[in-house]
Chains A and B, each alone.
Chain A
Amino acid sequence: MGLEQVYWTLPIVAYPFISGLIAGSFIVGSLSKIFGQKQYEPLAKLSLLVTLAFILFAPVGPLADSRQPSRWWELYTRAHIPEAPMGLFTIIWTTYVIVVIAEIYLAFRAPLHQLSEVTPGWKGRLYHWLTLGSTGMSEMRLRREHKWLVILAGFGIFLAFSFHGYIGFIFGAIKARPLWHNALMMPMFITSAILSGIALMIIVYSIVFRYFSFHRKVDSALVDGLMKIMIWVLLVDLFLDVVDILNSAPVAYTDQATASGFAEIFLHGPLTGAYWIGQLGLLVVALTLALFRGIRTSPLWASVASFAALISIWFMRYNTVIGGQLQPKVSQGVVLYSPALFGRGSMQIVFGLFMFILFVFSLLLMVFPWDDEATKHRLFHSTQLTNHGEQNRSTNKMLEH
């Protein structure tokens, strides 16, 4: 026994948050392939890059929180599967990374190959290298690739659910923490994962297409559509939150520890504001905003509503991870905790983590041809160049402006 303290700190809060974004953005990316929603096609490639940037950093959270991260290899060589929930992470994460990379390869191979033929210099070589030297462009091959893309996306959705379901399992399996030992943990985590992924994709789509795409234009119908999906997921998430609160009432008759823990942490304790205003209040704000058509179709306001949802999900992770550990196991009172600014398990770590993700995402945006319009234009432009020579370049440029 040490002094009872919060053992899992901020990086573990960031861990389900980031995993949720992966699961959600992957599902948004699969809308056009699996669910046949063709209007979301422009999002497909972008969301794959978002997923990759986040998934590469998903294990950094728990590794930054563990005290001997250099022994990560033990997770592969001595994996305790399926008994240890954390051990499942190794399997699911590794599979997911492979699936996402395969999916990215299949989605980007054809445009990369086309671009490598028209781009001179090291960039062209990089494109060629990224296709792994595969040059086949026959109709049949492209169709087969698309078929595999759909299969992988379906498998990826299954993985997205298990990836986030098992995070609920990590907390739900620990019966020593009454606030975690909850059957609702898994569905709550899965729903909030999808919600945060959609919210993130609305923001990323609005920013990236407004400032970095070929047409510099955001399709407000697409944003509207995503917002409409978000409303439904918001409702389910809110419903589960309400069920969780209502559930703590009958639990009070059977399980004193859960009831008193809920009361002394979330009703009149250190996380009262974080729960009622941060988690539930912002969710209601996001839902209210999303109900207005004017807000749904305006990329700026839709982003604001999505940001409110994202912050609410962050609070949900915080309340779960930190809140569960504030209840003491053998001593009295509520365990004291305030997040550190610098050092192990601090805000600095979480900030750095998100900056790393942003950096990798920017890098991916620069390398991969995620914008179909820009790719089309570049291919068209270069064929014109070869046909009509240097003179046309200036006229093309003028047309562009």
Chain B
Amino acid sequence: MAEDDVHVEQNNARQMGNQESRREFLKQALKVGGVVGIATVIGGPVGAVKALASTETKQNATDGSAINWEGWEDPQLNVNDGWNNWDKILNPDNLPIYHDHFDEIKKVKPKHHWVMVIDLRKCVGCQSCTVACKSENNIPIGYYRTWVDVAEIGSTLQTSLGNTVTANGTYEQQIKIRNIPKLCNHCDNPPCVTVCPVKATFKRADGPVLVDPRLCIGCGTCVNACPYDARYINPISHTADKCTLCVERIDEGLLPACVTTCVGRARIFGDLNDPTSEVSKLLASNPVQVRKPEMGTDPQVFYIGLNGEISTENDPEAENLIYTYTMNTNSTAYQQLAGKSLLK
């Protein structure tokens, strides 16, 4: 009997507790909803007014916290927003720009001629530049403005004097690994610029080849026209995108992000018009190569120690690429490597 009573009481208490907790939950839900609702109603206009009122201060802020970088998710690229003032980012000094007839650049005698020298003897293939660039320029996942291709050449030979000893015999590994940082070559005769139907991309007189994302219609002609695959269609802004030589940094007297971060100092950036600059000295004292010279693009990124382009041929004798995370996985070569089942 007593046990039954206890049961009943417990049931009642549980029911009451359930009812109470339900009520509590409803109350809390209403409270949270109300707060969120009121916050939205008040916060929206306040945020908008704040954003409108504080563009000036944001532009001048130096600590980085106040910069209102909305990322690529705002493809409207509002000029009133300080950071998104593309005229200031792309060409603050109003240097002459060229859409064709690049031989006329010499006539205006630009103050600077920015170039990059990449000393392959010093590159360790750490991909720091790849990361620095993605971080600096907010590059979407799967796309790169600079990347380091890693190639392997050579073979494993069975010899009696080899230093690799196995149960089946001794081997000598005659293998070389070569790291080749790649980026837009900022060509003096850029084929990607001439084909643009709306003059959205241009070459600035001091060297960088840039894209104005407010004008680009995203037709993809320049992406196809670049022999170095240095351009891509940005999946968020839906316009052509490429290395800018960190133009907003070099205009402020800084180095490009990839150069700053390079641990082996394999990337050297400088002014070719200045005979005392490091790049001028390097170019004067070393044999240099450029990528795909047969294209006639006159690249302005010079390599020390580049023995021809890495082969894309399916040839075991040729230098072949190793699959790093910057390599093209969208190919039959990767299919062969990974096995078709892995891709599905």
Contact = CB atoms under 8 A, between A and B. Distances in A.
A80 B217 contact: no
B270 interface: no
A328 B331 contact: yes
A177 B222 CA distance: 12
B215 A174 contact: no
A176 B331 contact: no
B335 A68 contact: no
Interface string A80-95: 1001111101100000
B220 A66 contact: yes
Contact of A84 (B147, B221, B230, B239): B221
B197 A333 contact: no
B197 A67 contact: no
B125 interface: no
Interface in B201-228: 215-221, 223-228
B330 A75 contact: no
Contacts of B313: 256, 260
A78 B335 contact: no
B328 interface: yes
A325 interface: yes
B336 interface: yes
B312 A78 contact: no
Given A68-B239, A80-B99, A330 B221 contact: no
A78 B215 contact: yes
Given A74-B198, A335-B328, A7 B336 contact: no
A7 B72 CA distance: 20
A89 B221 CA distance: 13
Interface in A163-222: 170, 173-177
Contacts of A174: 191, 195, 221, 224-225
Given A67-B218, A68-B239, A78-B198, A1 B230 contact: yes
B218 A66 contact: yes
Given A1-B147, A78-B199, A334 B331 contact: yes
A67 B238 contact: yes
B interface, by DSSP: helix, strand, loop or mixed? loop
B220 A68 contact: no
A3 B142 contact: yes
Given A1-B230, A75-B198, A336-B335, A330 B217 contact: no
A83 B198 contact: no
B224 A68 contact: no
A334 B182 contact: no
B294 to A, nearest CB: 9
A333 B225 contact: no
Given A328-B312, A335-B328, A85 B233 contact: no
Interface string A308-346: 000000000000000001001111111110000000000
A1 B326 contact: yes
B179 interface: no
A331 B312 contact: yes
A interface, by DSSP: helix, strand, loop or mixed? loop
Given A65-B219, A330-B149, A330-B312, A2 B233 contact: yes
B197 A90 contact: yes
A157 B46 CA distance: 62
Interface in A258-286: 260, 264
A90 B219 CA distance: 14
A89 B144 contact: no
A2 B99 contact: no
A79 interface: yes
A176 B227 CA distance: 4
Given A1-B229, A2-B232, A334-B331, A67 B221 contact: no
B321 interface: yes
A74 B334 CA distance: 40
A3 B328 CA distance: 5
B210 to A, nearest CB: 15
B320 interface: yes
Centre residue among A65, A89, A90, A174 by max chain B CB count within 10 A? A174
Contacts of A332: 312, 314, 320-321, 328, 331, 333
A62 interface: yes
Contacts of B328: 3-4, 328, 330-333, 335
Interface in B232-250: 232-233, 238-239
B224 A325 contact: yes
Contacts of A328: 229, 312, 328, 331
Nearest to B75: A68
26 contacts: A1-B144, A2-B143, A2-B233, A4-B229, A66-B219, A68-B238, A74-B198, A78-B199, A78-B215, A80-B99, A80-B198, A83-B195, A87-B198, A89-B197, A175-B295, A264-B314, A329-B226, A329-B229, A330-B182, A330-B228, A331-B331, A332-B314, A333-B314, A333-B328, A333-B331, A334-B332
Given A1-B147, A7-B223, A67-B219, 10 more contacts: A66-B219, A67-B220, A68-B238, A83-B100, A260-B313, A329-B227, A331-B229, A334-B331, A334-B333, A336-B330
Interface of B: 99-100, 142-145, 147, 149, 182, 191, 194-200, 215-221, 223-233, 238-239, 295, 312-314, 320-321, 326-336
- Across chains A and B, which 3 residue pairs bring their CB atoms closest together, nearest first? A333-B333, A67-B218, A333-B331
